[in-house]
Amino acid sequence: MPFSDYNVALVTGASAGMGAAIVERLCREGITVHAVARREEQLAALAERTGCIPHAVDVSDLTALTELCRDLQVDILVNNAGISHPGSILHADEHVVETQVDVNLRAVLHLCRMLVPGMVARDCGHVINITSIAAIYNFGGNSVYHATKAAVHALSRQLRVDCYGKRVRITEICPGRVATDIFGNVSGDHEAARRQFIDGFELPEANDIADCVAFAVSAPIAVNIGNIEITPTLQVPGGLSTMRPGESVA
């Protein structure tokens, strides 16, 4: 059980949902957890509940992120922060592109750039990238979200090449629909989003994703769990559409 090999973790997007559940689980395992998110009040409550170390930092703020990581020696890095704006790239504005690239991709690259070299030098570490089934499967809308998550999917595989020969493990976790507030965060109407996407469905909970993180970390050090795809039993990703010339999109 290599939890005992690790001392310090950093988790982004930690103030709620999957991030908060991951922080709670790692704290229960005796890990010192640096919890990073924008929402200071929720982070303070999480710290009170778990004993984590809160950092009210926007991961898209490279200056603040660099200062945070300057003196940190991290054994477990969980890149969980993410945002989504629905819609096709055909109708996306600059804000939709820039914010998702900044949070979903650029922050992940910079955190890996700053923290993974230390893992390699110590011959010990674990990177957990929380992506999405949108990293692997294509479905209507959310073009920029798909693109950023697919990039992190590629990065996760590349990190294993970059860290080859060292005991630095890389795990990508690809959730499907999970019962969290992300849908309300996207639309701004949490009540309507819950009715549309959560109520009446049998869905994984945030704790189920935290359990996946714990499963990957607790595997023997000789074992790298490279990819975990976790979806509701009653959800099938992907699909195929074919139309005749002249037909309109439904």
228 φ, ψ (degrees, to nearest 5): -125, 120
Confidence of residue 1 (pLDDT cuts 50, 70, 90): low
pLDDT at site 126: 98
For residue 190, report the phi and psi dihedrals to the nearest 5 degrees: -65, -40
pLDDT range class, residue 185, cuts 50, 70, 90: confident
> What would the mean pLDDT of 133-149 be, rounded to a whole number?
92
Residue 116: predicted pLDDT = 98
pTM above 0.85, yes or no: yes
> What average pLDDT does the structure give for the chain?
94
DSSP state of 249: P
Cβ-Cβ contacts under 8 Å for 152 (sequence gap 6 or more): 79, 104, 105, 108, 129, 131, 135, 172
Tens digits of residue pLDDT in 105-125: 999 999 999 999 999 999 999
pLDDT score of 52 more than 90: yes
Answer yes or no: are the C-beta atoms of 74 and 34 closer than 8 Å: yes
pLDDT at 17 over 80: yes
What is the predicted pLDDT for the residue at 31? 98
Catalytic residue among 6, 137, 145, 164: 145
Residue from 146, 159, 150 nearest 111 by CA = 159
**pLDDT at residue 15 in the model:** 95
> Distance (Å, rounded) from C-alpha 209 to C-alpha 137?
19
In the DSSP assignment, the letter for residue 75 is S
- Residue 167: closest CA among 218, 113, 125: 125
pLDDT for 187 equals 66
Residue-wise pLDDT tens digits, 200-248: 999 999 999 999 999 999 999 999 999 999 999 999 987 778 888 988 8
Q: Tell me the domains of the chain and their CATH numbers.
A: 2-227 (3.40.50.720)
Q: Is 137 a catalytic residue?
A: no
